[in-house]
Structure 1
């Protein structure tokens, strides 16, 4: 099913074709998407797809009165994934998820992402089950406005921000369309932004021989809301000739770290 344009999934063109407790399948257009910090092609949209399809299969396993909150997201990507997608940028990336092990108060969804039959990545999403909040908002029936211009940064409502030293930063502007049903920035949007800033940090000064993202692990700590003060900050922990490790964090308007991530690149 297609998602209304006034939802986070609709904003990024996600289409869900299978949806159930035994497995989910969805796709996202990922061609020609550019990191606003580097100007290079990015695999960041894969994080949005992973968050959706992995979180969805966990959500469909919930019991009466339960809701899900994602706690971890991770993926392993083939180093030439952007090249595979660029060969046919109009074809969406597809992801299939399935449950792993028995459900308790936590569940794990396993995902495999592919493009024209070529496997791009494997991924997992771990979710907690909580009592269903009573204030979950329904999405409005109609679009809240026209789609923004097609760049990734416009769709994410992020802007390049000033940062200290070699850190790379994006500002997360408030945009109600990007909020999930609990009124906070959709986890997939934040995961994309964390990949963008961490990748940019480890590639500082490497325009001729850029390092490609190989893995990303995201831990969701607390609620993250968009505001003029909200930002994603990426820093390089180690950069060698052929590999690098970077980290990123989402800092809310209160100055508290809400989400953290670790990235490796080769």
Structure 2
């Protein structure tokens, strides 16, 4: 099982010019705030737009995500919460030519509503050995439905402030390189941001933008976790800097996340 299969991603169209994929979303809730979570759309966007970029690789090359940016519409949370039983759809296409990196974008719809857009910049490289490209999108009947279990995430209460979100190791959340999948990690960063805002007076703030930068491989282990610090908290908006800390204690992935009422 891959991260995509674990999240229930279904691939409808797969070509170098167009990728269309779907993913259940309405049942995925932030384990701290219990609100509908839009962060998991990072998994869907990274899959669809990342696959477009993967098709642009040269022989012997592989791709990894270098940057992932998501923008959600002001009514995205309400749209998903109002009809939780339909999937989100990502439609991804390439942008421009490629060099050492390639760029793609996708539009995310939910029923008849557009709820977001995303861009993915992938880095092309030549791996030391052969990597598997088995998408393995088949889910199991007993597959968990709550987000913390899907992500292998432990919520640890803190004496002061938001709970600690620990990223426990699990082979099904890893990418073919053996590190935590970029979309899964981006989801964790959004959960940490929302949890922080929720506990610091921003309970009515909803995630609007995610700017994620992948710096180093994110290794899951006893010390790996997601953290967020406030950048600004105002009457109508708030922003955080979130970081994924790996088992090696190194900041691996960072995100500037902004939310609005």
Scaled by the length of structure 1, what TM-score is found? Answer: 0.91
Pairs within 5 Å for 1:99-114 = 99-114=94-109
Match of 2:216 among 222, 239, 247: 222
The residue aligned with 1:134 is: 129
Q: Give the superposition deviation at 1:163.
A: 5.4
Matched, 1:35 2:30: yes
CA contact 1:202–1:244 (8 Å) conserved in 2: yes
* 8 Å CA contact 2:5, 2:139 repeated in 1: no
SS at match of 1:255: coil
RMSD: 2.2
SS at match of 1:196: helix
Residue 144 of structure 2 aligns to a residue whose secondary structure is: coil
* Residue of structure 1 equivalent to 2:256: 262
Shift of 1:104: 1.0
Question: Structure 1's 200 and 8: CA in aligned 2 closer, same or farther, altered over 3 A?
Answer: same
Q: Is the 8 A contact 1:202 1:235 kept in 2?
A: no
String of CA shifts for 1:191-223, please: whole Å, max 9, x gaps: 10101101211222447x510111001100111
What residue in structure 2 maps to residue 203 of structure 1?
198
Asked if residue 233 in structure 1 is aligned to residue 218 in structure 2, the reply is no
Q: 1:32 deviation in Å?
A: 2.4
For structure 2, list consecutive stretches of 5 or more residues without a partner in the other structure. none
2:189 to 178, 186, 194: 194
- Matches of 1:133 and 1:75, distance apart in 2: 31
| 2:48–2:90 Cα contact (<8 Å) kept | yes
Give the match for residue 144 of structure 2. Answer: 149
- The one of 237, 252, 258 equivalent to 1:243 is 237
Report the counterpart of residue 177 of structure 1 in structure 2.
Answer: 172
What CA distance in whole angstroms lies between the structure 2 residues aligned with 1:44 and 1:79?
15
Give how far 1:147 is off: 4.1
SS in 2 for 1:54: helix
| Equivalent position of 2:154 in the other structure | 159
Matched, 1:79 2:70: no
After superposition, the Cα gap between the structure-2 partners of 1:17 and 1:106, relative to the gap in structure 1 and judged at 3 Å, is same
SS in 2 for 1:203: helix
CA distance in 2, matches of 1:34, 1:182: 28
Closer/same/farther in 2, CA of residues 138 and 118 from structure 1, 3 Å limit: closer
Deviations 1:72-95 (A, max 9, x none): 000110122121112221110000
Whole-angstrom distance in 2 between the partners of 1:145 and 1:86: 25
Structure 1 residue 168: Cα displacement: 4.9
Q: What TM-score, normalized by structure 2, do the two folds share?
A: 0.93
Quick one: distance in 2 between partners of 1:197 and 1:232? 6
> Quick one: distance in 2 between partners of 1:172 and 1:145?
22
Structure 1: runs of 5+ lacking an equivalent: 1-5
Q: Please report how far the alpha carbon of residue 133 of structure 1 lies from its aligned counterpart in structure 2 after TM superposition.
A: 3.5
